[in-house]
Structure 1
Amino acid sequence: MGVEIMKNFTSIKVLPCNKSKNIETKCQLGMKTPFPSGYTMEKRWIAAFCKQIELNESKNINNCLKRKLIYLMGDSTLRQWIYYLQKVVKTLKYFDLHGAGAFETHMLLDAERHTLIQWKKHSHPIVTKSRYSVKVDNYIPREIDRIAGDSDTVIVITIGQHFRPFPINLFARRAINIQKAIERLFLRSPETKVILKTENTRDMSQNAEIFSDFHGYIQNLIIRDIFVDLNVGIIDAWDMTIAYDTNNIHPPDHVIRNQINMFLNYIC
C-alpha cells in the first residue's frame, strides 16, 4: 500500500538520558512520579524527578538508619530487603522471633545504634505452597493502627502479587483500608514517614493467565490513584523491573539495591 510521508516534516527531539543530572531537588515524600519515573545506567537506577545520593557503603547506610524503627509490610518482594540489608550491613543482626518458615515475621536489630527493621507479611490472600502460621496473622491496616509513630518511624508497604488471581474489588478494598489507616496515622503522628513500593513485574512460566502482569498493571494504576493525595513516597518497582528486564517475581540483588537506595534517599 506504500507509506505516505508527511509534508513539512520536522525533526524529532529525543531527550538525553542524563537529563535528570540537572535536577537539584532532593528526593522527598509527597513527590509525584512521572511516567516513566526513571531509567537505568550501568545497573544504577536514576530517578527522573528528584536528585539521588548513592548510599552503598555500610557506614553511610548505618548513619542513615540510626535510631530508625522501620516496619516493612507486604509480600516476599519486600522481604528481600531484609535479606539484602543483612548481607550488606554487618551490624544488623537477625533476631529469632520463634516463627516457622519463610513467611514468619523477620526482624533485624542493631542494639548499638537503636535500629529495628521488621518485615511482616500481609494477611489473606497469601498464595503459596509453603506452610505458614496464622497465629500472628494481621491485616496491614490493623498493623498500622498499632504503631504510635514519630519522626524516626518509617513504614513501607507493598501489596499486589498475591491479589492477582482474585477479583479486583478485593484488591481495591484492601488498598482503600490501608489508605484510611495511613490517614489515621498522620492525624496522631504526621511526622511518620510512609513509603509505597509498587509491585514488580514477574516471570510468566507458571499460571500466566491468573498471575499475568496485565493484572499487576491494573492494580498498579488503582493503588496510585488511591494514594495520590497522601504525603507518601513512591518506589517505582514496576518501572525498575521493566527497565532491568528481570522477568522474575524476586529480582536480583542489584535491583533490590536500587530499591533500597531510593528508600534511603526518602528517609535521610
Structure 2
Amino acid sequence: MKKYLSNYVPFFTLVGLAGLALVLWNITMLESWNCQTVSTYLQLQNSIQSVLKISEIFPVEFNYSYCSHLGQEPTEEEAKEERYLLKSISWSEPPVLGLPLRQSSDPAQSYYIIQDSGELQVGGKLVVKVQMNNFFGQPKKHGGDFLVARLHTPELGAGVVGRVHDHRNGNYSLFFPLLWPGVVQVDVTMVHPSEAIMVLKRLREEQSDRVFFKSLFRSRYLSETTLCNLCLPVKKQPLCNYTDPYTGEPWYCYKPKLLDCDTRVNHAKGGYKKNLLTSYEKKFFQSAVNIKIPIHAAGMDNVTVLPASKGQTTWRNLELSQSGFYYRGIWRPLTGVVMRQFNDSSAITQCLRGKMVYMYGDSTVRQWYEYLVAQVPEFKEFNFYSPKNVGPFMAVDSNHSIVLRYRCHGPPIRFTTVSSAELHYISNELDGLRGGSDTVVMISIWSHFSTFPVQVYIRRLRHIRRAVIRLLNREPATIVLIRTANLQKLDPESSLYNSDWFSQQLDSVLRIMFKGLNVQLVDAWEMTLAHHQPHQLHPSPAIISNMIQFILSHICPVRRKRKRDYYEAT
C-alpha cells in the first residue's frame, strides 16, 4: 500500500504548488479588480466570518499559568516592595481544603452581636462580634471569609464603613466610629465564604486568560483577526510583540497567517472563558446562598448614640482609619480637605476656570467626565468620531478657559473596540504633560486587572507612580487625584471575573503604593460601601456627585477658617 501511494507523491506535490500559485495570483489580482468584484469578495468574506462563532475563531482550550518572566526585570528594591505588597494582602486559608458545602460558611446560620460597651456617645466606638457557622449551624473553626460592614441611619442619610478583623477561628470583630447622634443600624454582609476565596485565588493564578482579547489586522482587502493577551503560548503560532518600548509593559497577539504585525487595526475584548469551575467549586458561588448575603443579628441590630457631652473629646479629635462618612447624603471627609458644595454650573466653572483637566483610565473615571459635561452646558464636546464608551473625548468651555480630556488606559482593557492608535499607557501620557497649578490629573485603573495575578497590577502602578513623581518634581503645583476601586453587583458568573475580593486586593495595593506621595485618593471603596445605593460597577449619580464635590473641594479648597464647623452633625 505504501509503495502504491508513493507513486502519487509527485502528482500531489504538483497540485499543492499549483494551488499555492493560484492563491498568490488571487492576492495580486485583488488590486486590479473593479469595485463590484471587490465588494462581492468582501461580502463573501464577511458572510463566512459571521457564520463562525467566536469559540471557533478562537479555540479557548488554552490554559497556562501567568508568564512571570514578561516585562522588565524588577530591581532588587522593586522585588522587595513586591514581596511586601503580596504579604500585606495575604489571605487566611482554611486548614483543610476540599470541605463539603455543608461544612462551609452559611450566612443564614451565622450571626452578629453588638457588644455592650455602656453609654454610647458621639466620639466613641461600637464593637460588633460576628460568629460564622456552617450549614449545620456549627461554629466555623477557621477564618478567611470576606465580610464587609457599615453603620447607617437611613432617616439622616448617614453611613460609615466598619473595619473587619479576622480572628482566624470563625470569629470576627467589627469596629465602627460613632460620628452622629441617633439610632444607628448595623449591616454585615458575607461577600464570599473562605472556600470561595480559595477558588478565586486559583483562578487568578491559573486562569489569568479567562478574559481573552482579539485584534483585527487589515491590509487593503485582506483582513484577519487573532487572539491577544499579556501572555500567549508560543508553541501554537508565531507572535507579534507589542511590548511598550518606554515602560516595558508586555502585550502580544498571534501573528496573522497572511499579514504583517504592523497591520494591526484595533484591540477588543474577545470574550470570557466558560466552564472554569469543577462541580464541587460551583457550590460556593450560588446566588441567594453564599454570594453577598446579609448576616443577621442575634438580638438587637441597632443602638442609640447620644450627642457628645460638653467638653468631651469628639470624633474630630480621634485618629480614625476611615476616610469619611455620609451625613444628610453628603460625603464628609474625616481628614484634610473641608468639603464644599458646587451645586450649579457657575460654581463648577468658577472652580475650574483656567484649568486643563486630564482623566486617564477605565470607564469609572469616564463617569466623572460625563458628569461634568452634563452639569455644565457651557462645555462643548469635540467630535473625534470616537466610539461612545471608548473615547478619547474632549470638551471645552472657552469662556472660562477650561479643557476636559478623557483617554482610556492601555491594555488589558475590556472595551468593545479601541483603535490600536489609541492604546496609550497612562505613564507615557503623564510624561507628556507640562503640569503646573493649571493642571489637574485624575486616574482610575483597577477593574480590568481583576483577572490577572497581582504582580501585573503592581508593575503597572509602579510605572504610573514613577511618572507621577516625575510630573510632581518638575511642577509640584500639579493636582493629582487617584480613584480607588469600588464594590459592585455580583452573581455566580461575574464573581469569577470581577469579584469584590479581586477589587479589594487591588485597592489595598494601590493605597500602599501611593502612600506618602502628594496625591489625593478618592475613596470610591468607602463611598460605595457606606452609601445606601446598591453596589454597581458604575456607581449611582448620587455617589458620583459626591466624588465630584470632593474633587472640586481639593481643586478649590477653603482659604479661610470658618466660624461654624462645617461638619457639625448635631
- In the superposition, the TM-score normalised over structure 2's length comes to 0.42
Aligned partner of residue 194 in structure 1, secondary structure: strand
2:457 alignment partner AA: F
Give the alignment partner of residue 383 of structure 2, picking from 93, 96, 111: 96
Is the contact made by 2:326 and 2:530 (CA closer than 8 Å) also made in structure 1? yes
Query: Alignment length, in residue pairs?
Result: 252
Residue 46 of structure 1 is matched in structure 2 by 332
2:550 alignment partner AA: M
Is the contact made by 1:17 and 1:39 (CA closer than 8 Å) also made in structure 2? no
Is the contact made by 1:104 and 1:133 (CA closer than 8 Å) also made in structure 2? no
- Range with greater deviation from structure 2 (66-75 or 42-51): 42-51
Q: How far does the alpha carbon of each residue in 1:31-60 deviate from its partner, in whole angstroms, 9 at most, with x for none?
A: xx9532111223221112242111112111
Is the contact made by 2:394 and 2:405 (CA closer than 8 Å) also made in structure 1? yes
Any unmatched runs of 5+ in structure 2? Answer: 1-114, 126-177, 182-307, 309-313, 557-570
Give the alignment partner of residue 151 of structure 1, picking from 414, 437, 454: 437
1:262 alignment partner AA: F
Answer 1 or 2: higher relative contact order, Cα 8 Å, separation at least 6. 1
How far apart, in 1, do the equivalents of 2:446 and 2:361 lie? Answer: 9
How far apart, in 2, do the equivalents of 1:164 and 1:35 lie? Answer: 25
What does residue range 81-230 of structure 1 map to in structure 2 within 5 Å?
81-128=368-415, 130-205=416-491, 206-230=493-517
Is the contact made by 1:73 and 1:156 (CA closer than 8 Å) also made in structure 2? yes
1:16 maps to 2:208: no
Give the alignment partner of residue 266 of structure 1, picking from 537, 554, 569: 554
Is the contact made by 1:123 and 1:139 (CA closer than 8 Å) also made in structure 2? yes
- Range with greater deviation from structure 2 (167-176 or 184-193): 184-193
1:17 alignment partner AA: W
How far apart, in 2, do the equivalents of 1:49 and 1:111 lie? Answer: 35
1:16 alignment partner AA: L
- Range with greater deviation from structure 2 (59-68 or 36-45): 36-45
Is the contact made by 2:179 and 2:315 (CA closer than 8 Å) also made in structure 1? no
How far apart, in 2, do the equivalents of 1:100 and 1:207 lie? Answer: 25
How far apart, in 1, do the equivalents of 2:407 and 2:552 lie? Answer: 20
How far apart, in 2, do the equivalents of 1:116 and 1:34 lie? Answer: 37
Residue 545 of structure 2 is matched in structure 1 by 257
How far apart, in 2, do the equivalents of 1:228 and 1:23 lie? Answer: 22
How far apart, in 1, do the equivalents of 2:438 and 2:180 lie? Answer: 35
Structure 1 pair 34–193 and aligned structure 2 pair: CA distance change class (3 A): farther
How far apart, in 2, do the equivalents of 1:165 and 1:253 lie? Answer: 27
Is the contact made by 1:105 and 1:119 (CA closer than 8 Å) also made in structure 2? yes
- Range with greater deviation from structure 2 (35-44 or 214-223): 35-44
Give the alignment partner of residue 356 of structure 2, picking from 44, 66, 69: 69
2:505 alignment partner AA: I
How far apart, in 2, do the equivalents of 1:101 and 1:258 lie? Answer: 24
Any unmatched runs of 5+ in structure 1? Answer: 1-5, 25-32
1:153 alignment partner AA: T
- Range with greater deviation from structure 2 (175-184 or 198-207): 198-207
How far apart, in 2, do the equivalents of 1:243 and 1:257 lie? Answer: 15
Q: How far does the alpha carbon of each residue in 1:132-158 deviate from its partner, in whole angstroms, 9 at most, with x for none?
A: 212121100000000011111010111
How far apart, in 2, do the equivalents of 1:23 and 1:124 lie? Answer: 43
Q: How far does the alpha carbon of each residue in 1:94-150 deviate from its partner, in whole angstroms, 9 at most, with x for none?
A: 11123234112111110111100111111111124x222121211000000000111
Is the contact made by 1:100 and 1:133 (CA closer than 8 Å) also made in structure 2? no
How far apart, in 2, do the equivalents of 1:191 and 1:156 lie? Answer: 14
1:79 maps to 2:366: yes
How far apart, in 2, do the equivalents of 1:89 and 1:23 lie? Answer: 35
When you count strand as a share of all residues, which structure comes out higher?
A: 2
How far apart, in 1, do the equivalents of 2:315 and 2:379 lie? Answer: 35
- Range with greater deviation from structure 2 (109-118 or 93-102): 93-102
Aligned partner of residue 209 in structure 1, secondary structure: helix
Structure exhibiting the larger radius of gyration computed from Cα positions: 2
- In the superposition, the TM-score normalised over structure 1's length comes to 0.87
Cα RMSD for the two superposed structures: 2.3
Deviating runs (4+, > 4 A) in structure 1?
9-12, 21-24
Aligned partner of residue 418 in structure 2, secondary structure: coil
Q: Kindly, what percent of the aligned residue pairs are identical?
A: 31
How far apart, in 1, do the equivalents of 2:316 and 2:494 lie? Answer: 42
